[in-house]
Structure 1
Amino acid sequence: MNRLVLISGLMLFSLFFGAGNLIFPPMLGHQAGVEMWAAMAGFIVTGVLLPFLAVVVVAYFDEGVERMGRPVHPVFGMVFAVLVYLSIGAFYGIPRAANVAYEVGTANLLPVHDASTLIGFSVVFFIIVFMVALNPAKIVDSIGKYLTPILLLAIALLSIFAVFRPETSLQPAQDGYSGTPVVSGILEGYFTMDLIGALAFSMVIISGLKYSGITDRAGIVSHVIKAGVLSSILLMVIYLALAYIGGTTARGGYENGTDILTYSSMRLFGSSGDLIFSAIVVVACLTTCIGLVNACSEFGSRHYSRIPYKAYVFVFTAAGFLFTTLGLNTILSLAAPLLAFLYPVAIVLVVVSFINIFIRFEMKYAYLLPVVSTIPISIMEIIHTNGLLKMEAISAIYTALPLSDALLGWLLPFAAMTMIGLMVDWRRESHIDAARRQTVY
């Protein structure tokens, strides 16, 4: 493995591994208990495999997120891309990561937690983000060579001690993990929403490769796949280690994975455990924010080059800082409906685009039909789960859909519409070929 692939793979891992990725697996392991391995197999499908497919798709077409929606309609492709970058950027992804870094990383280190300490922490945090994101040519080296090893070392230290010094054995499974551990794990990985982040992070890696002198599509795809495989392996190993920490932590009143990891750090390392866990959280959130600012700035400068890249970095950093000061609960409540709408559409476009890599005929309806069926179902899901507009009829329609109780009501219609779309496109291409042959003869 050459140096560039190694550094790119470490960087991609670090961009993916944010606060949510840190706290989901321990809680899964804690609840799944003896069914942890089966549940983690499901988690890896949606938490690792789907984001990897997104990276491969973006690298293959090398046109950014907007290319995925273009077969539906050029305007739709651009609107979808803008919504993706806004949701993972200043409106949600950046301030969420910064808030988690503050709330978790400094929970036991600062004597006071109020608006002034949040602002003070955010100023220092975003100055670092801004300084690193200013130079896109060095982001791969900055994160891949320096920040990622620090993150991996801290996680490895915690994981190794926890694996060799478990508090208890794996306990009986709880809740849905006792009956359908694989399905429960799939849903848990689904809720990480890493796929949307992957759509943006892919362009960060691609831009880094281009700055390094690799410009041909075959070379970019090859390097991205290798970097993606490396990052996926690292993610799987870390996820399994974190799940094992949760699974071997004695039953208690833990509300989330943060409580489990905080307790485990204190149990294994005493008072210094706070420092280790704080370092893990802050560095994980820092690398994620740097990647998101860079991705959003690259997207802006690519489509409106009159504004220089560095100006976009300033705008997204400043906007991220301002939204961070709103607090985590406010950010989550504002962004939840947008993400609930975007995520199913993003999965549909990634899967169909991946199929498109291997299809020789032009795909149009295989994009159009699944998207047209998924969008209204996503809107119905938002209305149903959030109680918006008090439309009981819409809620009744949504709950009648298979898998709607798991918030996957769009899944079976998507599969059916994709198959129908592929058949229509194949027939359409066959008729075009027949007409061409008749014209020739």
Structure 2
Amino acid sequence: MKKQVIISGLMLFSLFFGAGNLIFPPILGHTAGQNMWIGMLGFALTGILLPFITVIVVAFYDEGVESVGNRIHPWFGFIFAVVIYMSIGAFYGIPRAANVAYEIGTRHILPVHNQWTLIIFAAIFFAIVYWISLNPSKIVDNLGKLLTPLLLLMVALLSIAVIFNPESALSAPKDKYITHPFISGSLEGYFTMDLVAALAFSVVIVNGYKFKGLTDRMKILKYVCFSGLIAAILLGMIYFALAYVGASTAPGNFKDGTDILTYNSLRVFGSFGNIVFGMTVILACLTTCIGLVNACATFTKKHVPKFSYKIFALIFSIIGFLFTTLGLEMILKIAVPLLTLIYPVSIALVLISFANMFSTFRFSWAYRLATVITLII
């Protein structure tokens, strides 16, 4: 079982480490400069610790995403879960990840970028997503044994090369990182919205242990905690390394972390750097999409048992393909505000649920009060 814990931890890391998580730390490090370490501690608080707590909460209550909302009312739990899976999954997270994989991952690799290259790329991308998602009992192994080590290798290759060949010393902090580095870093971690992702992904890792024959809830919880800890440590190491890449980059006109990583890839590896960075982005987006398709299909199958899991995996893969190729603009206008609304509520409910784990009281009033207050604010 120790081997399974490690594989599950690697899988969980790859689910969280999407393209957004790849590009946030470098720009934070570049802006924070000498205050990078303090800023990254804040980033780790909201971008690593909160998702880790969420994974523990979902595993403890063993009811999937609904375990958080059910503390208020079963109907609220169901609606809450639907909103989570639609916003972070089918209508936003999945097509956005695929779009980022194309726009950023192939930017300097493909000689031509047009609607046809997008369609071909998306078709191949979602065919791979669907193929790996087909067998939910093997997702942990496919991600943990195959894709995650490859992703880690690509990120480590880029990070270590820059760390041992920095362009400059850490510069003076800029903007908000001059006076409030910890708070500023915490806000950057908040904007990853990984707590919501953790709500969606937790069912994947819990089911992974169930597929291995485990039925004891407390044993599953223990193993999930260890796997979550492995994922958290890996995320922390990679985030701090990427932040250092940004901090050790000479001042320049960089719009975001993508520009910083692209610049350093070319600086260290030459033209081969485009392939290194492009493959890293594509792998990061691919693993996230696989996890989201699996989570969305598992949730839908639970409530519509009439149809098979494979049917729903196909449906969500097709939805992702369509939104990726037909345009994200309209759906983003709906999904992003919805996600922005549900995120504070999710944080409040997860933290209260976590506290409730150590108490015999149900805290029903606290769940309702926290939901009302966060919705009003």
- Is the 2:88–2:339 contact (alpha carbons within 8 Å) kept by the matching residues of 1? no
Matched, 1:150 2:150: yes
Match of 2:8 in 1: 8
Q: How far, CA to CA, are the matches of 1:354 and 1:222 in structure 2?
A: 15
Match of 1:33 in 2: 33
More displaced 10-residue stretch of structure 1: 360-369 or 21-30:
360-369
Match of 2:277 in 1: 277
Q: How far, CA to CA, are the matches of 1:332 and 1:251 in structure 2?
A: 33
- Is the 1:99–1:327 contact (alpha carbons within 8 Å) kept by the matching residues of 2? no
- Is the 1:89–1:320 contact (alpha carbons within 8 Å) kept by the matching residues of 2? no
Q: Secondary structure at the residue paired with 2:76?
A: helix
Q: Secondary structure at the residue paired with 2:253?
A: coil
Match of 2:204 in 1: 204
Q: How far, CA to CA, are the matches of 1:353 and 1:324 in structure 2?
A: 35
Moved over 6 A (4+): none
One-letter amino acid of the structure 1 residue matched with residue 368 of structure 2: L
Matched, 1:96 2:61: no
Match of 2:357 in 1: 357
Q: How far, CA to CA, are the matches of 2:338 and 2:326 in structure 1?
A: 18
1:314-336: per-residue Cα shift (whole Å, max 9, x none)? Answer: 11111111111134555544422
One-letter amino acid of the structure 1 residue matched with residue 185 of structure 2: G
Match of 2:346 in 1: 346
Structural mapping, 1:169-248, within 5 Å: 169-248=169-248
One-letter amino acid of the structure 2 residue matched with residue 197 of structure 1: A
Would the alpha carbon gap of residues 2 and 150 (structure 1) be closer, same or farther in structure 2, given more than 3 Å must change?
same
Match of 1:433 in 2: none
- Is the 1:105–1:281 contact (alpha carbons within 8 Å) kept by the matching residues of 2? yes
Match of 1:22 in 2: 22
Displacement of 1:27 in angstroms is: 0.3
Q: How far, CA to CA, are the matches of 1:362 and 1:24 in structure 2?
A: 37
Q: How far, CA to CA, are the matches of 2:119 and 2:259 in structure 1?
A: 24
Displacement of 1:73 in angstroms is: 1.9
- Is the 2:25–2:246 contact (alpha carbons within 8 Å) kept by the matching residues of 1? yes
One-letter amino acid of the structure 1 residue matched with residue 152 of structure 2: L
Q: Secondary structure at the residue paired with 1:105?
A: coil
Matched, 1:118 2:79: no
Match of 2:167 in 1: 167
Q: Secondary structure at the residue paired with 2:326?
A: coil
Match of 1:386 in 2: none
Q: Normalized against structure 2, the TM-score is what? A: 0.98
Q: Secondary structure at the residue paired with 1:358?
A: coil
One-letter amino acid of the structure 2 residue matched with residue 196 of structure 1: V
Displacement of 1:337 in angstroms is: 0.6
1:390-418: per-residue Cα shift (whole Å, max 9, x none)? Answer: xxxxxxxxxxxxxxxxxxxxxxxxxxxxx
Higher relative contact order (CA 8 A, sep 6+): 2
Displacement of 1:344 in angstroms is: 0.5
Structural mapping, 1:10-89, within 5 Å: 10-89=10-89
- Is the 1:100–1:328 contact (alpha carbons within 8 Å) kept by the matching residues of 2? no
Match of 2:254 in 1: 254
Would the alpha carbon gap of residues 108 and 328 (structure 1) be closer, same or farther in structure 2, given more than 3 Å must change?
farther
Q: What number of residue pairs does the alignment pair up? A: 377
Q: How far, CA to CA, are the matches of 1:327 and 1:151 in structure 2?
A: 28
Q: How far, CA to CA, are the matches of 1:169 and 1:333 in structure 2?
A: 41
Q: Secondary structure at the residue paired with 2:111?
A: coil
Match of 1:395 in 2: none
Between the aligned residues of both structures, percent identity stands at: 58
- Is the 1:26–1:260 contact (alpha carbons within 8 Å) kept by the matching residues of 2? yes
Q: Secondary structure at the residue paired with 2:90?
A: coil
1:236-295: per-residue Cα shift (whole Å, max 9, x none)? Answer: 000000000000111111100000000000000000000100110001100000000000
Displacement of 1:77 in angstroms is: 1.1
- Is the 1:96–1:331 contact (alpha carbons within 8 Å) kept by the matching residues of 2? no
- Is the 2:54–2:195 contact (alpha carbons within 8 Å) kept by the matching residues of 1? yes
- Is the 1:206–1:224 contact (alpha carbons within 8 Å) kept by the matching residues of 2? yes
More displaced 10-residue stretch of structure 1: 108-117 or 136-145:
108-117
Displacement of 1:197 in angstroms is: 0.6
Q: How far, CA to CA, are the matches of 1:227 and 1:7 in structure 2?
A: 8
Q: How far, CA to CA, are the matches of 2:371 and 2:214 in structure 1?
A: 34
Which consecutive unaligned segments of at least 5 residues does structure 1 have?
Answer: 378-441
Q: Secondary structure at the residue paired with 2:109?
A: coil
Match of 2:266 in 1: 266
Displacement of 1:230 in angstroms is: 0.3
Q: How far, CA to CA, are the matches of 1:32 and 1:331 in structure 2?
A: 33
1:163-187: per-residue Cα shift (whole Å, max 9, x none)? Answer: 1100001111111000000000000
One-letter amino acid of the structure 2 residue matched with residue 55 of structure 1: V
One-letter amino acid of the structure 1 residue matched with residue 100 of structure 2: V
Match of 1:133 in 2: 133
Displacement of 1:71 in angstroms is: 2.2
- Is the 1:95–1:331 contact (alpha carbons within 8 Å) kept by the matching residues of 2? no
- Is the 1:11–1:140 contact (alpha carbons within 8 Å) kept by the matching residues of 2? yes
Structural mapping, 1:313-392, within 5 Å: 313-327=313-327, 329-377=329-377
Q: Secondary structure at the residue paired with 2:357?
A: helix
Would the alpha carbon gap of residues 284 and 66 (structure 1) be closer, same or farther in structure 2, given more than 3 Å must change?
same
Q: How far, CA to CA, are the matches of 1:328 and 1:31 in structure 2?
A: 29
Q: CA RMSD for the aligned pairs?
A: 1.0
Q: How far, CA to CA, are the matches of 1:361 and 1:328 in structure 2?
A: 44
Which consecutive unaligned segments of at least 5 residues does structure 2 have?
Answer: none
One-letter amino acid of the structure 1 residue matched with residue 269 of structure 2: F
